């Protein structure tokens, strides 16, 4: 297993366009998380899945954001009508379960620039 994979690594888009990012977690991990990070700051929680069920979504997440994990494997994060404030690194992570000592394995992220 090569770890958590995110594609694309970089995305430049014009304001108002839609973008979609993909995350492939570690295959045996049933939990998948999406975070957003701006430069020099800690990651900010967006949403997470247990298998195919979306269990929690941040109140900070506008209705322009949607995430899916259709078969409990890979996940997609879509941003509609992008705004300049959406520019950030979008990180995906997976974990084996919900035990308090389980850590996250992160992907390398997708850096989004909205121009």
Partner 1 sequence: TQLLEQSPQFLSIQEGENLTVYCNSSSVFSSLQWYRQEPGEGPVLLVTVVTGGEVKKLKRLTFQFGDARKDSSLHITAAQPGDTGLYLCAGRGGTASKLTFGTGTRLQVTL
* List of residues contacting partner 1 (CB under 8 A): 4, 33, 35, 40-45, 48, 56, 91, 93, 98-101, 103-109, 111
By beta-carbon proximity to partner 1, the closer residue of 37 and 80 is 37
- Residue 59 Cβ vs partner 1, minimum distance, rounded to whole Å: 9
14 vs 59, beta carbon nearer partner 1: 59
CB of 33 to partner 1, least distance (A): 6
CB of 22 to partner 1, least distance (A): 15
Helix-then-strand count for the chain, H and E: 0, 11
**Nearest-approach distance from CB 31 to partner 1, in angstroms:** 9
Rounded (to 5) percent helix, strand, coil in the chain: 5, 50, 50
For residues 2 and 14, which CB has a smaller minimum distance to partner 1 in the complex?
2
Looking at beta carbons only, is 74 or 106 nearer to partner 1?
106
Q: Where would I find the beta strands (DSSP E) of 30-87?
A: 31-37, 44-50, 53-57, 65-68, 75-79
CA of 109: how far to CAs of 26, 67, 100, 101, in Å? 15, 15, 24, 23
Could you give the CA distance from residue 53 to residue 3 in angstroms, rounded to a whole number? Answer: 22
């Amino acid at each position: 297993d090569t770890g958590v994979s995110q594609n694309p690594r970089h995305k430049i888009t014009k304001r108002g366009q839609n973008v979609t990012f993909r995350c492939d977690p570690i295959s045996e991990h049933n939990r998948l998380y999406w975070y957003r990070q701006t430069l020099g700051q800690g990651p900010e929680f967006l949403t997470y899945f247990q298998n195919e069920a979306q269990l929690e979504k941040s109140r900070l997440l506008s209705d322009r954001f949607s995430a899916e994990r259709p078969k409990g494997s890979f996940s997609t994060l879509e941003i509609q009508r992008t705004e300049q404030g959406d520019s950030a690194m979008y990180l995906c992570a997976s974990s084996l379960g919900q035990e308090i000592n389980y850590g996250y394995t992160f992907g390398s992220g997708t850096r989004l620039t909205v121009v």
